[in-house]
Chain A
Amino acid sequence: NAGVTQTPKFQVLKTGQSMTLQCAQDMNHNSMYWYRQDPGMGLRLIYYSASEGTTDKGEVPNGYNVSRLNKREFSLRLESAAPSQTSVYFCASTTFGIGGLGKETQYFGPGTRLLVL
């Protein structure tokens, strides 16, 4: 049981390049999330997927797209990277996304560190 895994761990891009960050969970969770973490700021939600086949915008979705490929996998794509997207990206998952917070725990992956030059 690997939990939440993310690839790659580290990536350097040039401005304008594209890339896809991969996330997978093996806990049979319904909901998955993408966050970014910037120095001096808390985590901010980019996109989330409450269940397979659905995706919704979070607080900072501009410049990103997502795909919920199946129940296990949730990818984040940067179509044209910008220096402002330099950040650490975290994927997370929970059993349910709507309600039930008292019974739920959110599990995080180890993160992808992205540098855009």
Chain B
Amino acid sequence: AQSVTQPDIHITVSEGASLELRCNYSYGATPYLFWYVQSPGQGLQLLLKYFSGDTLVQGIKGFEAEFKRSQSSFNLRKPSVHWSDAAEYFCAVAKNTGFQKLVFGTGTRLLVSP
């Protein structure tokens, strides 16, 4: 069965600094990978997804993620963090059979300091 690990529960980054959130997955075949963001009191919003092709994926709000098969990782990056990026971020993996097989990580809470 597929699984997702987000090793960092909390991360604090200064505004304007770069960000990298880690995500490792376990899955036997080529995975479908997703990053979601959840602002306080809100539902989840899709930031980006990888399903094939270029391993560097661009998303909304200036985020990008890189799929590294050799490391079973799909880390999320942003070159310059804004205060409005403070939120919880979830990595997820799925089989090609559909969203009903989507497995979420436990999330990383991002705090942005002035």
Q: Chain A's nearest CB lies how many Å from the CB of B77?
A: 21
Contact of A97 among B9, B32, B46, B99 (CB under 8 A): B99
Q: Chain A's nearest CB lies how many Å from the CB of B7?
A: 14
- Asked whether A45 is an interface residue with its Cβ less than 8 Å from the other chain, the reply is yes
Residues facing A in B87-114 (CB within 8 A) are: 90, 92, 94, 96-100, 102-107
In whole angstroms, how far apart are the Cα atoms of A41 and B106 in the complex?
A: 4
- Asked whether A50 is an interface residue with its Cβ less than 8 Å from the other chain, the reply is yes
Contact B100 A48 (CB under 8 A): yes
Contact A99 B96 (CB under 8 A): yes
Contact B106 A98 (CB under 8 A): no
Determine the residue in chain B with the shortest Cβ distance to A57.
B100
Contact A42 B92 (CB under 8 A): yes
Q: Chain B's nearest CB lies how many Å from the CB of A61?
A: 12
Q: How many residues of B contact A (CB 8 A)?
A: 26
Determine the residue in chain A with the shortest Cβ distance to B91.
A42
Q: Chain B's nearest CB lies how many Å from the CB of A33?
A: 7
Q: Contacts A50-B100, A101-B51: A42 and B107 contacting too (C-beta < 8 A)? A: yes
A-B contact pairs, 21 of them (CB 8 A): A4-B43, A31-B99, A40-B9, A40-B106, A42-B92, A43-B44, A44-B104, A45-B102, A50-B98, A56-B100, A97-B99, A101-B51, A101-B94, A102-B49, A104-B99, A105-B46, A105-B49, A106-B46, A110-B41, A110-B43, A111-B42
Residues of B within 8 A of A (CB): 4, 9, 32, 41-46, 49, 51-52, 90, 92, 94, 96-100, 102-107
